[in-house]
């Protein structure tokens, strides 16, 4: 399996509903380092997994929609506990759309993995295979 990863970061504010979150129930900031891994069994005719520049641009554009925003104020997250796990899935869905829209190059991407690093010791991820995708 071949893998290409692009990395960026995003700064957001949010609060987490539920006693399990303790002090994180209060409004607080978070800075995430974000890795998006694109995987495919065979390289395309051009010898790459994805166009790295296009993948990085798609990630930056997606993160820009939440950068320096309070997620509690966004209708898109109104009924979502914006845990790191949920945000990883949210990013996965948007990056999958970029893959399926043919914005990252030709050829099938077999799977996609999104990792959000909360710190140097804690992270969460979401990954899944892509069906009939174009990379």
Nearest residue to 58 via CA among 13, 18, 93: 93
Pairing state of beta strands 123-129 and 2-14? Answer: unpaired
Q: Where are the alpha helices (DSSP H) in 20-119?
A: 52-64, 84-100
Q: How many CA atoms lie within 13 A of 103 on its CB side?
A: 16
Question: Structure pTM?
Answer: 0.92
Q: How many CA atoms lie within 13 A of 27 on its CB side?
A: 7
Q: Where are the alpha helices (DSSP H) in the chain?
A: 52-64, 84-100
List, in order of start, the domains of the chain with CATH numbers. 2-129 (3.30.479.10)
Do residues 109 and 40 lie in contact, with contact meaning Cβ atoms separated by under 8 Å? Answer: yes
Per the structure block, which two tokens stand in for 44?
Answer: 């395309």
pLDDT tens by residue, the chain, 135 residues: 999 999 999 999 999 999 999 999 999 999 999 999 999 999 988 899 999 999 999 999 999 999 999 999 999 999 999 999 999 999 999 999 999 988 888 778 999 999 999 999 999 999 999 975 444
Do residues 113 and 36 lie in contact, with contact meaning Cβ atoms separated by under 8 Å? Answer: yes
DSSP label of 46: T
Q: What local confidence, expressed as pLDDT, does residue 103 receive?
A: 84
């Amino acid at each position: 399996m071949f893998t290409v990863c692009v990395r960026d970061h995003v700064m957001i504010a949010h609060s987490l509903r539920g006693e399990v979150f303790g002090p994180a129930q209060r409004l607080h900031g978070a800075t995430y380092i974000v890795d998006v891994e694109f995987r495919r069994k065979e390289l395309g005719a051009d010898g790459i997994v994805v166009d790295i520049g296009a993948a990085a641009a798609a990630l930056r554009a997606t993160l820009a929609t939440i950068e320096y925003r309070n997620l509690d104020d966004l209708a898109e997250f109104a009924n979502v506990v914006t845990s790191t796990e949920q945000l990883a899935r949210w990013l996965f869905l948007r990056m999958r759309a970029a893959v399926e829209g043919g914005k990252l190059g030709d050829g099938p991407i077999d799977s996609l993995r999104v990792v959000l690093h909360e710190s140097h010791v804690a992270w969460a991820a979401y990954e899944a295979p892509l069906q009939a995708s174009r990379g």
